Each structure stands twice: as C-alpha cells, then as structure tokens.
Chain A
Amino acid sequence: MKYNIKPLFIWAKQRGDANIIDRILVKIIPQLLKDNIKITSNEIENSNEILVSKEIYDLVLSTAQNLVDDTYKEEK
C-alpha cells in the first residue's frame, strides 16, 4: 500500500518557514535515496499526489511535525 505525502507538505507550508519543504527534504535525504526518491519542492508543489511507502510517510510526518512544532491532523 502507498501513502500520499502531499497533504503533509501543504500542512507544513501553511505553518512553517518559507522554505519548509526543502528543509524537510534535506533532513531526510538518506532515507529518500534508499527508496530511490529524488523529489524537489517544485515537483511537490506541482503534483497532485506523491505516493510513498509507510516508512517514508511516517518519516515525513515526524520531520514536518518537529520542524513546525505542531501536530498534524488529517483532514476528513
């Protein structure tokens, strides 16, 4: 099963630094590369969804929450 990380980036951008998407990506580059993911902030902003493994989803979620210092609540 794949999970969409786009909403996590949108949420982080609404609350964090102007460059929060790049900050999240830089934080987790080694793990992204293990999954062969090389995505940029432009690609994230221009795509409808970005599907990844549960491990990467959880990593993006925890990194975003740490950097924004807030808890993500999934929109229903």
Chain B
Amino acid sequence: MMFNINDYPYDEKHNYLEIGGEAMIFHCHHYLTNLQRTILDADYIDSSKFLIGSAADAVYNQLTNLCDGLDVDSSKQMAQDIYKVFGYGLIDLSSMNENGCVLKTTKSFFSRTWYQKFGKSSNPVDYYTAGFLAACFAVIYKKDLKDIKSIQTTCLSCEDEINTFEVSIGERNFDVYPPKKPVEFVDVPKVKIDWEHADTITNAFLGAHATMVGNEEGLIPAFGVYLVRNQSDYVNRLQFEFVKEMTNVAGEYGVTLAGELLIEAGHACGFFTYGGIMTSKEWEGAVKPYLKTKEDWIKALAALVNTMGWGYHTAVELSEQKAVFRNYNDFEDLSHLRMYGKSSYPVNWANSGGFTGLMQLIYNTDLVNGNRIDTEEGFRAMRRSKTKYKTKMLKSIACGDDYLEVEIYS
C-alpha cells in the first residue's frame, strides 16, 4: 500500500481531518444516495456536469498533492489505494495510458448502495468514480482536466453485470471550478458539552476513525450502514451547486424546496448512522455505562462524533420539546467559505438534518431501550406516525457567524 491513513493526524483543536490538502468527512450510504437522488429528481437541471465535476475537482487537488514526486506506477497505486481505503470500492488503473482507459469494476459503493436502497436505476449512478478517474488521468498523465471526457456506460445499479467507465481526451462532460481558498477556522471560545463524561467519551474514541477503512471489497460496513470517507468539498459542492441551480430555476422558492430535501438527507443520515452507533457493541461497552437520561444519550453521541472530523458538536439547550445545537468549525460552512466565500443564507443542511434525526431517534423511538428502527419502511412509518421535529437554521459561519446554530423543536 502506498497510502496509510495513520500518516494523517487528526486535528483535535478543530475536530478536523485533512488528507492531501482536502478536508475529509464520513458520510453514510443513506445520506449520499438520498442526496444524489434529490439532485437527479430535478431532471430539468443538467446535474451530471457537477456530479462528476465536483468529484474530479476535489480528487484532482488531493491526488496532485499525494502523487507529488511519484512515478506513473506509484501514482496509480496511490490512487487505487485511496479509492479503496476511503470506501468507494475497487479500481484497477493498470490499463490507463496516455490515451485514457476503459475501466471495469464490480466493486462500487455508489452502484451497490443505490440498488440496495432504491432498486433498479434507469441510468448509471456512479458519477463520483467518473470524476475520480478523470482526476487520476489528469494527475498521472499531466493532462488538463478541461480536456478530459469521462463517462460511465454500464452500471450494477441498472442490473448490468459490471460498471464500465471510459476516460479519454475529448469534449469535457463535466464542470471545472476555479481554485479554492485554504481552510480558515473560526477560533472562538466554545460552549463545551455540558456533561461530566464528555471528555471521557471523546478520549475513548480519538483515533478510532482510522480503523474505518475499506475492506477487501473497498467498502466500509459499520454501524449497520456503509460509510465513505468523502472529500468534504466534493460532497458539499453537490449541495451548493444544486441549490445554485434551483435558485436559477425558481429563486428563493427553489432554495426553500432544495433546502427541505437537503435537510431530509441529513435527517436520514443522522437517523440511520447515529442509530447504528448507539446500538453498537462499542457504544454498549464504552459509553452506555455512563448514560442515565435521554439527554445523556445525545451529549454522549456528540462527544463521540467530535472525533470524526465534522467539527465540534455541542448543545446549548436540550429538552424533549426543544434543543439548540451548535457546531464549531462545521464542515459544510468551512467548505462553502473555501469554494464560494460568504453566503446570504445558512448552508449547513446536512448538519442540521443530522441533529433533527438525532432528536427523532432519542425522543420519538424506543432506541434507548435497545429497540432500533433500521429499515427503510420502518423509517418511513415512524416519520408518518410521529409528530415531526422541525428544523430552524439560525446561524452559519458562511453568513459571518462564529458557529453553526440550529434549533430543533416539536
């Protein structure tokens, strides 16, 4: 292996992980497939250009750094390694040359989980890998991204036997973006998690993220979901470009509708992934002995996920009726500032939806007694039958605030 996740230290001060110049965050398959379907639902938008382009841009930046000084073969190995370690599946770049490649694989996070969650797709869905391969070609063979064409022609999600990608010099079929700014943290005093065991939980799980790497299939099954280590700017650009396109179509109304769906994707992520964490054997052994109240469950979860690179989660107000959560240096806001600068509206839909999902889990299910809802139909039924928590995004670093703040109320 050319790549070792342990070579990249976790920034405890900012609850942040960077690899090859790219901020890295975990997302689960519920979030990513939901997000991608939301984007594709708006079929009057030519979204394939940014679905591929967002990946190509982030991976190009990352591989340019990781492959600096490496020869062609070593660079290929590095690209294959990160693809696998990050949980996207398996790729073999040995056939890539100066002209590009036709690459086939049966191990694909996006194709597999789309089919698992939504059934057969009418079109290929692994846009990320099309972008990833365009970036590999550009970095390894010193091509300009602007001159590359990268398409997926067959897909497991369409019930094809294999995923096929064609990468070549040709008419570009994806967007390219201007250079982005370096990360800028907002260093203000934090309201710490108001719970005596918070540091104990955080310290117990520091470094645990490094155990979550792709298996022999290049997948990361954990907590009952498939996780992926995303380049934060890849996945957040999907949100930002989608909202931008919806604004072009429908102005503020487009932002409102898109925002509702983006929050819902975060909600599903929080519900399934946090639910999986809070019923895991790791939670049972290292966390549960400290839990007395439902509020303890929420604070413990925040203490644990503060080791995962999403910023520093905390609660400044917490009850069944209403909670106000904060996140210092949350990944969505930092990403927006790097790529787009300031925003006139909050941009932390995934985080806000995640907090909503957490409240739903703790107060509207019987999770604390070990009864987890972990099926799609169970999730839908619960969302229909219970009073919904509502989400009000109050503050956003991209709007000039010092932190993300969101109110969740019933």
CB <8 Å contact, A22 and B380: no
The verdict on B322 contacting chain A, using a C-beta distance below 8 Å, is no
Residues of A close to B258: CB separation below 8 A: 26
The total of Cβ contacts below 8 Å across the A-B interface reads 51
**B36-44, B77-85, B278-286, B340-348 - the one binding chain A:** B36-44
Tell whether, in the assembled complex, residue B41 and residue A27 are in contact, meaning their CB atoms are under 8 Å apart: yes
> Given the interface contacts A29-B249, A40-B256, does A18 sit within 8 Å of B42 by beta carbon?
no
Q: Name the contact of A14 in the complex, choosing from B42, B254, B257, B384 (C-beta under 8 A).
A: B384
Known: A26-B42, A29-B42, A29-B249. A40 touches B260 (CB 8 A): yes
Query: Across the interface, do A22 and B254 meet the contact criterion of CB distance under 8 Å?
Result: no
Residues of B within 8 A of A17 (CB): 380
A26 touching B261 in the complex, CB below 8 Å, given contacts A33-B250, A40-B256: yes
**Chain B positions 262 through 291: 1 when the CB is less than 8 Å from some CB of chain A, otherwise 0:** 001001100000000000000000000000
- For residue A4, CB closer than 8 A to chain B, the reply is no
Once the chains bind, are B383 and A23 in contact (CB under 8 Å)?
Answer: no
Within 8 Å of chain A (Cβ to Cβ): is B253?
yes
Q: How far is the CA of A41 from the CA of B257 in the complex (A)?
A: 8
Within 8 A of A (CB), among B122-143: none
Q: Is the interface of A mostly helix, strand, loop or mixed?
A: helix
Q: In chain B between 38 and 73, which residues have their CB closer than 8 angstroms to a CB of chain A?
A: 38, 41-44
Closest to B259 in A: A22
Within 8 A of B (CB), among A35-56: 38, 40-41
- Does B8 sit at the interface, judged by CB under 8 A? no
Give the complex CA separation of A16 and B257 in angstroms: 18
What DSSP secondary structure best describes chain B's contact surface? helix
- In the complex, whether B379 has a CB less than 8 A from a CB of chain A is yes
Nearest CB in chain A: distance from B253 CB, A: 4
Interface size classification for chain A: 10 to 19
Are B257 and A40 neighbours in the complex by a CB distance under 8 Å? yes
Q: Are A23 and B250 in contact (CB under 8 A)?
A: no
On whether the beta carbons of A23 and B261 are closer than 8 Å, the reply is yes
A18 and B257 form a contact (CB under 8 A): no
Question: Are A22 and B260 closer than 8 Å at their CB atoms?
Answer: yes
Q: Name which of A23, A33, A41 has the most chain B CB atoms within 10 A of its CB.
A: A23
Q: Of all chain A residues, which has the CB nearest B383?
A: A18
Query: B265 to chain A: closest CB distance in Å?
Result: 8
Q: What does the 1/0 interface line of B128-162 toward A look like (CB < 8 Å)?
A: 00000000000000000000000000000000000
CA A22 to CA B253, docked complex, whole Å: 12
Determine whether A71 belongs to the interface, using a CB cutoff of 8 Å to chain B.
Answer: no
B393 to chain A, nearest CB (A): 15
Smallest distance from the beta carbon of A35 to chain B beta carbons, Å? 13
Partner of A38 from the list B43, B253, B268 (CB cut-off 8 Å) is B253
Question: What are the residues of chain A within 8 A of B261 when measuring CB–CB?
Answer: 19, 22-23, 26
Interface residues of A in 1-37 (CB under 8 A from B): 13-14, 16-19, 22-23, 25-27, 29-30, 33
B42 nearest CB neighbor, chain A only: A26
CB within 8 Å of B: which A44-75 residues? none
Residue of B nearest to A39 (CB): B253
On whether A26 and B380 interact (CB within 8 A), knowing A19-B264, A33-B250, the answer reads no
Contact present for B260 and A41 (CB under 8 Å): yes
What separation, in Å, do the CA atoms of A33 and B246 have in the docked complex?
12
A50 CB to nearest chain B CB (Å)? 15
Q: How far, in whole Å, are A40 and B254 apart by their CA atoms in the complex?
A: 10
* Alpha-carbon distance A63/B365, docked complex (angstroms): 31
What residue in chain A is nearest B249 (Cβ atoms)?
A29
Given A29-B254, A33-B250, A23–B41 Cβ distance below 8 Å? yes
| Contacts A17-B380, A22-B260, A23-B38 supplied; 11 other A-B pairs, CB < 8 Å | A14-B384, A18-B267, A18-B383, A18-B384, A19-B264, A22-B261, A26-B42, A26-B261, A30-B44, A30-B249, A40-B260
* Top-5 shortest CB links A-B: A18-B383, A19-B264, A38-B253, A22-B260, A22-B261
Q: Give me 26 A-to-B residue pairs in the complex whose CB atoms sit less than 8 angstroms apart, sorted by A's number.
A: A16-B380, A17-B380, A18-B267, A18-B268, A18-B379, A18-B383, A19-B260, A22-B257, A22-B260, A22-B264, A23-B38, A25-B257, A26-B41, A26-B246, A26-B257, A27-B41, A27-B42, A29-B42, A29-B44, A29-B249, A29-B254, A30-B249, A33-B249, A33-B253, A38-B250, A40-B260
A contact residues vs B (CB 8 Å cutoff): 13-14, 16-19, 22-23, 25-27, 29-30, 33, 38, 40-41
